[in-house]
């Protein structure tokens, strides 16, 4: 789940263990692997490495999986439908292996998670869906702005739901074996969702790791918490209409400790900050409530929960944080970093934007600039570098 041009913060509430945004059957009988057909269906626009690729080991694994799935109540018809155009996705393994991400401060995280664009889009989304959101608040007790904020962080209000086939993604990861038992459980759950008729295999898409829909539920969480709020007989978290997805998120929080009428927390300063949560030394402090811990059940990260809470406050019309963050390890403030990105871009070194978050693209731009002036290409920002870019 990408929430930045430069960094993916794919936090997971569901025991994935991924870092900060996420995601053909050979069997007994006549079921045929998409890998063997040579022309499996794939969604247009997917990178080549996220399209089914022939892999005999995967085919053998799927053949063995077939009987295990049937033992867990999956019908042959469901298996045929689920795996008809599925296959091994090498890009899923690549992404799973390449999860060493840049260490982000809370300041960097909030710069992305509560950006001006995310706030403005959140306010617009809230207005568009206010009737639904207020109905969910009344039923489940979860603040409408909190539901909206989770939607914003998980899929940018539905704009980034993911288009990787879930059966392919989860079966690839289950076959790979690094977390095989976990992903086989997700695959079984995905097939049961298909068998229940909530969605078809071609429309069951999500992240490379199998997180689905507007608020990025993995299959087992979908089974446990998804609801049919529209009353059409399907718990549809994938469609353009976000109603069931938003309702499912509200239900998740309500069943995981959310207290009606209680805030998530607030920023505190001065004497009130004593004993408060301060994720970044020298930065703002927060007094949090049990609802903060409920948000962490959705994603076990202080930064994520603060991001949700603060974004919700901003969507509801609240102000930016009052507390300031200290300079970074290179002696640069956020304003310095924004200015550095602007100056690099002006000189033709693309940083991917000027948000003050110096991710891989900004570091590559710094390295390219350093090389252009005969300096070692370290990619490390500094006050000296900033002054030299005038």
pLDDT digits (tens, 9 = 90+) for 161-203: 999 999 999 999 999 999 999 999 999 999 999 999 999 999 9
Strand partners, 287: 266
82 near 201, Cβ under 8 Å?
yes
Supply 190's token pair: 């995905």
**Which pLDDT belongs to residue 348?**
97
Closest by alpha carbon to 157, among 199, 205, 216? 216
Euclidean distance between CA atoms 104 and 109, whole angstroms: 6
Inter-CA distances, 361 with 326, 345, 346, 375, Å:
23, 11, 15, 19
**Which pLDDT belongs to residue 48?**
95
With vertex at residue 177, the alpha carbon angle to CA 173 and CA 178, rounded to the nearest 5 degrees, is: 90
Euclidean distance between CA atoms 143 and 308, whole angstroms: 12
196 near 222, Cβ under 8 Å?
no
- Within the chain, which residues score under 70 in pLDDT? 1-44, 99-102
Torsion of the alpha carbons at 74, 78, 79 and 83, rounded to the nearest 10: -140
H or E segment at 140? helix 130-140
Helices (H) and strands (E) in the chain, counts: 17, 4
205 Cβ contact partners less than 8 Å away, ≥ 6 residues apart: 43, 161, 162, 163, 164, 165, 166, 212, 238
SS3 state of residue 285: strand
H or E segment at 34? helix 34-37
Strand partners, 285: 268
Inter-CA distances, 249 with 156, 192, 223, 304, Å:
15, 20, 13, 15
Strand partners, 268: 285
**Which pLDDT belongs to residue 44?**
57
pTM (2 d.p.) = 0.87
With vertex at residue 17, the alpha carbon angle to CA 266 and CA 363, rounded to the nearest 5 degrees, is: 80
Supply 113's token pair: 């998670």
Euclidean distance between CA atoms 225 and 254, whole angstroms: 10
**Which pLDDT belongs to residue 390?**
84
**Which pLDDT belongs to residue 99?**
65
**Which pLDDT belongs to residue 237?**
98
Euclidean distance between CA atoms 151 and 248, whole angstroms: 11
């Amino acid at each position: 789940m990408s929430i930045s041009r430069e960094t993916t913060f794919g936090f997971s509430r569901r025991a994935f263990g991924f870092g900060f945004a996420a995601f053909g059957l050979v069997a007994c009988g006549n079921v045929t692997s998409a890998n063997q057909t040579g022309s499996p269906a794939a969604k247009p626009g997917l990178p080549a490495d996220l399209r089914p690729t022939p892999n005999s080991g995967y085919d053998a694994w799927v053949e063995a999986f077939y009987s295990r799935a049937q033992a867990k109540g999956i019908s042959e018809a469901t298996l045929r439908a689920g795996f008809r155009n599925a296959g091994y996705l090498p890009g899923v393994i690549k992404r799973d292996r390449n999860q060493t991400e840049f260490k982000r401060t809370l300041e960097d995280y909030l710069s992305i998670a509560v950006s001006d664009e995310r706030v403005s889009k959140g306010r617009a989304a809230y207005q568009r869906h206010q009737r639904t959101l207020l109905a969910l608040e009344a039923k489940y007790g979860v603040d409408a702005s909190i539901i909206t904020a989770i939607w914003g962080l998980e899929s940018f209000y539905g704009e980034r739901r993911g288009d990787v086939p879930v059966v392919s993604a989860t079966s690839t990861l289950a076959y790979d074996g690094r977390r095989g038992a976990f992903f086989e459980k997700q695959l079984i759950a995905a097939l049961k969702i298909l068998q229940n008729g909530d969605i078809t295999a071609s429309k069951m898409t999500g992240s490379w790791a199998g997180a689905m829909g507007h608020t990025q539920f993995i299959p087992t969480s979908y089974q446990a918490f998804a609801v049919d709020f529209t009353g059409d007989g399907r718990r549809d978290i994938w469609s353009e209409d976000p109603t069931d997805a938003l309702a499912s998120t509200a239900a998740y929080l309500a069943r995981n400790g959310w207290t009606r009428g209680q805030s998530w927390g607030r920023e505190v300063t001065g004497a009130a900050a004593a004993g408060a949560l301060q994720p970044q030394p020298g930065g703002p402090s927060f007094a949090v409530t049990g609802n903060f811990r409920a948000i962490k059940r959705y994603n076990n990260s202080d930064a994520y929960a603060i991001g949700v809470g603060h974004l919700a406050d901003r969507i509801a019309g609240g102000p930016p944080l009052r507390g300031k963050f200290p300079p970074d390890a290179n002696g640069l403030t956020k304003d310095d970093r924004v200015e550095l990105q602007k100056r690099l871009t002006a000189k033709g070194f693309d940083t991917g934007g000027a948000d003050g978050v110096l991710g891989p693209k900004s570091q590559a731009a710094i390295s390219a600039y350093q090389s252009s002036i005969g300096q070692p290409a370290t990619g490390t920002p500094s006050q000296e570098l900033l002054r030299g870019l005038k």
